[in-house]
Structure 1
Amino acid sequence: MRIITLHSNSLVVEPKTKAMKDAEEISKKKQSFGESLVVFTAVEERDEAAPDAVAANAIESIKKIAGEVKTKTIVLYPYVHLTSTPSSAAIARKVLKLMEDGLKKEGFVADHAPFGWYKEFTINVKGHPLAELSREITAIPGVAKAEDVISGALKEEEKVKSEWFILEPSGRLTPADKFDFKKHPNLQKFYRYEVSKVRGVTSEPPHVKLMRSLELADFEPGSDPGNLRFYPKGRLIKSLLEQWVTNKVIKYGAMEVETPIMYDYEHPALKNYLNRFPARQYIVRSAKKDFFLRFSACFGQFLMNSSMTISYKNLPLKMYELTKYSFRLEKAGELVGLRRLRAFTMPDMHTLCADIEQAKKEFVNQFKLCMECMSELGYDTSDYETAIRFTEDFWNNNKEWLTGLVKLVKKPVLIERWNYRYAYFDPKFEFNVIDAMDKASALSTVQIDHENAERYGVQYTDADNKRKYPLILHCSPSGATERILYSLLETAWLKSKEGANAMLPLWLSPTQVRLCPMNDSLIPDCKKIADELAASCIRVDIDDRTESIQKKIRDAEMEWVPFIIVYGEKEKKSGKLAVRFRENGKVEQLSTKQLVELIQKQTTGFPFKPLPLSMFLSKRPSFV
């Protein structure tokens, strides 16, 4: 955008004839303005990628100039002749409207000259040094700034009044600031984190160093912040997590679908939903239209639901997608390693329910599903903190039911009670892990949606042949796969500080068994053993490098390999393997068959993928 600002004593504008078919309809033939800042404005083609951001930046620039010349009256004058690459008329009108509305909200008296007309104008410009200025306004191509495109729900979230309590399995509700946290230190950390609302960090969390040293993931300098690269080992873990959670949800009864990653920003249902979801979006431009990148599977699934024929007999109806990817334009200062990203993989299930009673029953079932997922990731209820959030009205009508959820986790939970419903959901819960920085991050979550069925036109036919809007449950049973990996790394680091050896769950360990031959002549024997293990769905590799046994063992320990086997002449003769257990540091003599049975017992029911790198360490490149 290009603008020229003229601090004027007077301006008279008289429209003569329409310059375009879709010119603005006007009621006055002549406009007269007294002292004002007249802003001649040309919206450019490059602004079409992020019109909201351009308008917001223009407002800031105009505010600054108006402050310097001490005026509170602004007149926007569309003047396409300032540029050789004008935007479409529709975008120009949109940007000018955003600017005028935004200036009014800032306390200015704002108006505009008619759009799409040939006009005669007379202007009397003041003669001081700041009376005539020009500015070039830009936005990041393809991306609206986080502070510029903010949903109505985010704004409401800042205004809603929250009360904080601790709810115990007995049903006792205590104001959080009166609760005795002596036996629940992590719950206290969680409460403090939630109340403070400080999401940024002042130092690097442990998992960031670990994700690099273990060659799992890293920052990508060639992309937008919060978009990571994953190395083969990290991709293996992500892939296993994706397959695991997808299997869980399909077994639970959900239908797996696939939907687009971008949607029309001006679609009425979608735009309305954006204003009810507390998140910031990436905006992209295609064929002179604005599209936003999805931050969940909601959009595609709800649009699909709206075109389906659904009977009450089909309810509860579950639909699932593993979104590759979801995008949220998080604030730059809040981006932290794997914990908070701008691009992530989200398992997302939605369930249509006939009424609140069916929704509550399904909510409990999905609460249990989430507990099961946390358990399979290696967490028991002592390892995470639960938050349940709802309105005062929901609490008054569902106290016993809410207490029943607390009884399932068998320990006190944090309650956030709102004075009104600021977004579409009521209630919602999350399971949160507390990391080494005392920051909380939600993994599993379920919420009851009261608005989107009607917003998207999702209906079902009831037993009386009447069309009704269902309630919708949103559920991510495990949370984003990147955040799972973050939580596993942070938890392992914390346990290492308590004296335990840091480990990943066996089924997620990139290398489950490492063979360390005492000399090169034993490599063929190790290869035979490795082939036997690999045939039994075990990820095994061989350290065939010309290094000492001590270094081979040390390197395997640095990689968190669960089972390390030093193989020498003794093992060759006996047929027994000296297996070093990382979990407890013990060494046991096992046959190959016994080792296979041991590993299979611990990994039964979990997905398997083969080794993502060469079996021989000497043939592997270094990624970090």
Structure 2
Amino acid sequence: MIHSNGASMKKRAPATSKPQEFEGTEIHLDGKVLVCFISVEDQDTFDIKIISKQATDEILKGINLIEEFPQDIAEKNKEVEKFNTGLKRAQEKGFRQSDNPRKLKELILDPSEYKVDRILVYPWAHLSNYLSQEKVASEVCPVIAKMLEDKGLEAHFSPFGWYKAFTLDCLGHEVAEMYRNIPLALLSTEVRAKSKVYIVNSDKSVDFFCDSSEEGKKNAKIPKHYSKDFRDFIKAEVLSTREKGKQEPAHIKMMQKFELADFEDASDAGNLRWYTKGVLMKNLIRDYTEQTVVNNGAIYVDTPVMYTVKNKKLTAQTARFPAKTYWVHSGNNRFLLRFASDFLLFNMFSQMHIRSEQLPIRFYEYEQYAFRREQAGELAGLRRLRTFTMPDMHSLCKDVPQAVEEFKKQFLMSNEVLNSFGLKSFIVIRTTEEFWEKHKDWIIDIMASQNQPGLIELWPERYYYFILKYERPVLSAQGHTACLCTNQIDVESAQDIIEQYGEKRQKYNISWHSKDGETDHPIILHNSPSGAVERVIWGLLESNARYEKDKVSGFKTWLSPVQVRVMAITDKEAEIAEKIMEQLNAENIRCDYDDRDEKIGKKIRSAEVEWIPYTVVIGSQEVENNTVSVRKRLVGEPLVEGKTNEQINDIPLPKLFEIIKQDLKGYPHRTLPIPFRKFSTRINFR
């Protein structure tokens, strides 16, 4: 956008085989003209009404910026004069002698020059290498001009497809030149502004809590009989209260201290580096979740991490998640990095021949990686990243009744996964009033089965692709929440088309067929049993910080990077201690050996600090008796008088194997790398 003192355009010759029709050969505009050079890109022509409306709004903002600029400067100068007056008085009293007065800002031009009399919308292909090739793209400039006229402004457009001469006289003031990038955004309507929140108690009673309006939240009172955790959960999840000040999340120092993950200064913010122990934990979470979903009937698939924006089925879904995309440029094409597996997965579904007797079909994909360009202020260590990994399952169901039965099964499966991580979570179900009235009995039943209160949010109508959404948020040390596992009943994506904003929108057109010729579109369940792997580790660290005074800190044995630490009291037992370490690793138990020349007390304290589940001590008595003594960490147990361990003395080594293997039964195994098996060879990253 260029603010010009007059503007003119003259057609020279056709530049395409079918140049846009345009009466006359010239445009001459006097006065102050905002010339808007516009490039229509590949994704924009999904719906030129929407993209033109978005562009019109940006032009109006640009006009306001220009016309209000002198007043903005005047207001800032008032603040400067107020500061200078106070400074002068302070100096007269002998204070702040070193401070300098602030200078008033001066406008480059006379205030009368900062106005817009008319607008010229000009197609300018040179702004982009990714132009739309669709004929409808040429209509964007006239549509924008018409929308501006409807706002009471004088607007003109320059025709597309011509070689043209043009003249500008840029006014050259502070905001005379502006640039805007406008991604296509099919934004949801504000249905949630009218939603209502209820508390479902473990005795199956349902109590109204508040509506979602600002006034409703302001007047909401949380009953005192609920636990502090549940009250904090409601504050964060419903009332959106935040502690004053910006306190660093507790897990950041913990992930660095344990050398799990860290920030990467040579990458985009929100993309972390992962160290050996963190990778171990990520892989174990992946293995366990994958094992669980496959045991529950899922099949494997894998789709690319990037996709084209020239496919309208994909564009229709992408544009529902505006402004959070990474672009990849390849020659004269560009692609989006996925922020969910749905896009190409659903495209695959649409090309399959699905038989009704096969339903439900569960497709599991381990998304490595998903990308979301979160705003810089939203990034928060492991809680919210720009790159993350997501175990993801999508299930095709014949109809809503079958989807409901599958939802119930996946609810239990998700609970099993979170419980196996040792995480305390809460339950939120969001649905429409219509669905609630038909299905509230079983919804209340599954919520009450958790033996803790939960939340229901009811919308007056569906505003997104799902009619029911289930979430399990976890509380941080500071009382913030983040969702881990989720499940959604999607009634929209499989359709051929849907009605939206008064227009028919293309969807994926996924169908099933029966032997007797019946055909229909399936219902799709979106289920991540664990949530993002990075967020699971966030939850584990934050939960440990939150309950450090109440429970014994640590990770469950199967998730601990080092499960057993062996140490000798003196050098005489060193050889035996090392052999025990080797035997444990041979038995698929991750064990290291503290071979430092330190006193046993210091070695034990190190194991405590690192939350090692089993600490094996070898002394002369153990050597003589051919036994070991073990300190078993009571992870997750109530912290009573500071006791964190149970002492088990003089047990045979096979008994130790039996105890640990019982602890690990049913869980996946990953090997501890050889350099990490001794302190003397252990790699330090920080």
TM-score (norm 2): 0.79
Give the drift of 1:334: 1.6
Alignment check: 8 A CA contact 2:145 2:155 kept: no
- Distance of 2:515 and 2:280 partners within structure 1: 48
Aligned to 2:512: 460
Q: Does 1:7 align with 2:5?
A: yes
- Distance of 1:437 and 1:285 partners within structure 2: 41
Aligned to 2:199: 166
Which amino acid in 2 is paired with 1:587? Q
Give the drift of 1:412: 2.1
Aligned to 1:186: 229
Q: Does 1:491 align with 2:546?
A: no
2:335 to 283, 286, 291: 291
Q: Does 1:588 align with 2:648?
A: yes
Q: 1:88 to 1:257 in 2, by over 3 A?
A: closer
Give the drift of 1:463: 4.9
Which amino acid in 2 is paired with 1:585? N
SS in 2 for 1:564: strand
Q: 1:104 to 1:211 in 2, by over 3 A?
A: farther
Aligned to 1:217: 261
| Residue deviations 1:300-326 (CA, integer Å, cap 9, x gap) | 221111111111101011111010011
- Distance of 1:103 and 1:196 partners within structure 2: 42
- Distance of 1:362 and 1:280 partners within structure 2: 31
Give the drift of 1:197: 4.0
Alignment check: 8 A CA contact 1:392 1:420 kept: yes
Which amino acid in 2 is paired with 1:377? F
Aligned to 2:576: 525
Alignment check: 8 A CA contact 2:361 2:396 kept: yes
Alignment check: 8 A CA contact 2:198 2:456 kept: yes
Which amino acid in 1 is paired with 2:430? R
- Distance of 1:222 and 1:415 partners within structure 2: 43
Aligned to 2:522: 470
Moved more, 507-516 or 165-174: 165-174
SS in 1 for 2:573: helix
Q: 1:16 to 1:66 in 2, by over 3 A?
A: farther
- Distance of 1:370 and 1:216 partners within structure 2: 25
1:17 to 13, 17, 20: 13
Q: 1:18 to 1:407 in 2, by over 3 A?
A: same
Residues 538-577 of structure 1: pairs in structure 2 closer than 5 A: 538-577=589-628
Moved more, 296-305 or 276-285: 276-285
Moved more, 554-563 or 348-357: 554-563
1:416 to 432, 457, 460: 457
Give the drift of 1:431: 1.1
Give the drift of 1:606: 0.4
Moved more, 181-190 or 301-310: 181-190
Alignment check: 8 A CA contact 2:32 2:115 kept: no
The gaps in structure 2 that reach 5 residues or longer are: 45-50, 70-113, 210-219, 496-506, 635-643
Q: Does 1:443 align with 2:498?
A: no
- Distance of 1:426 and 1:559 partners within structure 2: 45
- Distance of 2:332 and 2:162 partners within structure 1: 23
- Distance of 1:199 and 1:114 partners within structure 2: 52
- Distance of 1:361 and 1:476 partners within structure 2: 17
- Distance of 1:434 and 1:421 partners within structure 2: 28
Q: 1:110 to 1:313 in 2, by over 3 A?
A: farther
Aligned to 2:291: 247
Aligned to 1:616: 678
SS in 2 for 1:621: coil
Give the drift of 1:63: 5.1
2:208 to 145, 156, 175: 175
SS in 2 for 1:622: coil
Q: 1:150 to 1:387 in 2, by over 3 A?
A: farther
Alignment check: 8 A CA contact 2:269 2:376 kept: yes
SS in 2 for 1:609: coil
- Distance of 2:428 and 2:231 partners within structure 1: 12
Give the drift of 1:419: 2.1
| Residue deviations 1:229-281 (CA, integer Å, cap 9, x gap) | 11000000000110110111111111111000011123211111123458822
| Residue deviations 1:448-478 (CA, integer Å, cap 9, x gap) | 0011001111100135312210110000011
Alignment check: 8 A CA contact 1:13 1:120 kept: yes
Q: 1:32 to 1:469 in 2, by over 3 A?
A: farther
- Distance of 2:231 and 2:146 partners within structure 1: 43
Which amino acid in 2 is paired with 1:577? V
SS in 1 for 2:677: coil
Residues 343-362 of structure 1: pairs in structure 2 closer than 5 A: 343-362=387-406
Aligned to 1:152: 186
- Distance of 1:98 and 1:158 partners within structure 2: 32
| Residue deviations 1:536-582 (CA, integer Å, cap 9, x gap) | 11111111122222222222211111111222222211212121122
- Distance of 2:167 and 2:278 partners within structure 1: 67
- Distance of 1:102 and 1:448 partners within structure 2: 41
Give the drift of 1:414: 0.6
Aligned to 2:318: 274
Q: 1:259 to 1:489 in 2, by over 3 A?
A: same
- Distance of 2:572 and 2:21 partners within structure 1: 89
Alignment check: 8 A CA contact 1:157 1:278 kept: no
Q: 1:260 to 1:540 in 2, by over 3 A?
A: same
| Residue deviations 1:42-89 (CA, integer Å, cap 9, x gap) | 8699xx9xxx9x989888666533555222632133467xx8x97465
Aligned to 2:469: 428
- Compute the RMSD of aligned alpha carbons: 3.4
Aligned to 1:326: 370
Give the drift of 1:205: 1.5
- Distance of 2:371 and 2:335 partners within structure 1: 13
- Count matched residues: 595
TM-score (norm 1): 0.87
Alignment check: 8 A CA contact 1:534 1:540 kept: yes
- Distance of 2:154 and 2:239 partners within structure 1: 37
- Distance of 1:99 and 1:540 partners within structure 2: 71
Aligned to 1:145: none
Moved more, 23-32 or 534-543: 23-32
- Distance of 1:102 and 1:414 partners within structure 2: 48
Aligned to 2:438: 397
SS in 2 for 1:551: helix
Q: 1:205 to 1:263 in 2, by over 3 A?
A: same
SS in 2 for 1:260: coil
- Distance of 1:471 and 1:447 partners within structure 2: 10
2:275 to 220, 226, 231: 231
Q: 1:410 to 1:459 in 2, by over 3 A?
A: same
Residues 57-72 of structure 1: pairs in structure 2 closer than 5 A: 64-65=65-66, 67-68=68-69, 69-71=114-116
Moved more, 268-277 or 533-542: 268-277
Alignment check: 8 A CA contact 2:569 2:619 kept: yes
Alignment check: 8 A CA contact 2:202 2:451 kept: yes
| Residue deviations 1:106-130 (CA, integer Å, cap 9, x gap) | 966544311231235677x69x774
Residues 496-507 of structure 1: pairs in structure 2 closer than 5 A: 496-498=548-550, 500-507=551-558
Which amino acid in 1 is paired with 2:653? T
SS in 2 for 1:341: coil
Give the drift of 1:336: 1.1
Q: 1:515 to 1:342 in 2, by over 3 A?
A: same
